[in-house]
Structure 1
Amino acid sequence: MNEARGKYIALISNDMILTANWLDNLVTCIESDPQIGFVSPGANYVSNYQQINLPFNSLEEMQQQARAYNVSNSTKWEERIRLMPVILFSLTERLREIGGYDSRFSFGEFGDDDISYRYRRAGYKLIYAGDTFIFHHGSVTTGIDQRQNNSLQISRQIFHSKYGIDSWAEGLPNMQLVESLKSRWTPKPTVSFLAINCCVGATPLAFKTYFKQNGASNVQLTSLTNQEKYMTDLRTISDRTLYYQTMADIHQQLRGERFDYILFEYGYPDFIQSYNQEELIHAYLSPSGHFIT
């Protein structure tokens, strides 16, 4: 990485088989927006909702299927809180700007989470390029450390010590809530969206992606949280981020605004013990809006 001199840099895991058009597609994606920090494709074996399932029984057939699949398509690009970069594709200067990988994650795990957070906190977007498939054998290197050294839990704790955030418990989207959105979605060009207590914002960002992929060209996301530790990351994905401790704080900051969707992800039972659900809905949900929890 230190010796790289080209405009772009691709960090490729050692258990990958590259496919047709992978590089052209990733260049097209990253050049589409100067605020993109890095992009990563999908694969047959990967977590974080980046798996692409193509039918094949041999590596030759895999390459044929990948050639047909790997057609650049911006509707398959998704902004994410974190990426599992089977390939981390970035402008070289941007990778240097954020300082490369943190050597504390010596086993490999959670180094990807860490670099994702640092790109976002530096003002850049992370884009999953779902229009690009590569082949991943999976855990060829890290599997041994996971079995012999408990590397997953050690690395998870290093991340938590650095950020005060559990990247798994607090950084993954709730896709069941996203699925529940589909039955309530009426296509419209502009959507106002209030997300309450959604940790670092992975779930509202997935909502925002769904809105945009299904007819909304303008999505205005307001995030409310009662934990200050989430403010930094919520600001990276929200149009407005607000902190509250009481219902009076909410009223003061929102001042009767109306939203098409209100998402309340964590702590809802405790919230309604202290505050009136109907008060929240009546005050801030538009007449044809949807409340999701």
Structure 2
Amino acid sequence: MILVTGATGTVGREVVRSFPPGAPLRLMTRNPASVTVTRPGTEAVAGDYADPDSLSRALRGVRKAFLVTSRVAGDDDAVFLRAARAAGVRHVVKLSAEAVTDVRADDLITRWQRANEDLLRRSGMAWTILRPRSFMSNCLSWAGPIRSERVVRALYGTSANACVDPRDIAEVAVRALTEDGHESAVHALTGPEAISAAEQTRLLGRVLGVPLRFEELGTEEAHAALLRRHPPELADALLSSARRQRDGAKAAVASGVREVTGRPPRSFGEWAGDHADAFAAEVIS
């Protein structure tokens, strides 16, 4: 049995889609009724990192697990790994981030990710770590302004990020969970090229068949927007991450997707074409 945590999340649901037919899967989420992506041979179970009994139930009979945590600075990784080891799990594939390799990255989020990677390495179980760059799907946050104003607003709009399609992350995760040879491996995952928010805006406009405008956010404006959605320390961490991107820290292209899957990673243009409906509902007059 393979457990997929975060089964309703951006990467988790793509992991479920990517598994070969008949694979015995258990999908862990706080609310099993919210699972919309499933397939024959899967079961959805309630599980919460804050509830050790629910983790024990979710992990019963599991031999491999895909681990996603998102509560920054929390102890969810430690709690899960203790429960997984006690349940007899043999191999954990963890979603981390490529920022952990940047010695200049010392923000709250990256420190937490580094610590969680160390916990997994010391867990006594076999491990694989996935380190993606930013998800192409982060652009979905632009859908509202694109529909209503035909505009995208972002900070440091000409800075480049080798962002990756979540479907590529998922395919690598499934390979790591179903093939031999991924134990003690770290896979750096990016798209085929680094691309800026301004360039993404132009590509989205081309896909949608309408002119889109890019507007550069000022630092104070961007920080204020982050503070409306996040606690101050987390907002500061995200702003620090944006500055590192401005300075070129996220532009390098990695070979992980090709090495694991045998094919090149999907481009942003491919992702945009496949997700045009998310942006187009109100854009075409």
TM-score range, shorter chain: under 0.3
TM-score by length of 1: 0.25
Greater Rg, structure 1 or structure 2?
Answer: 1
Higher strand share: 1
Higher helix share: 2
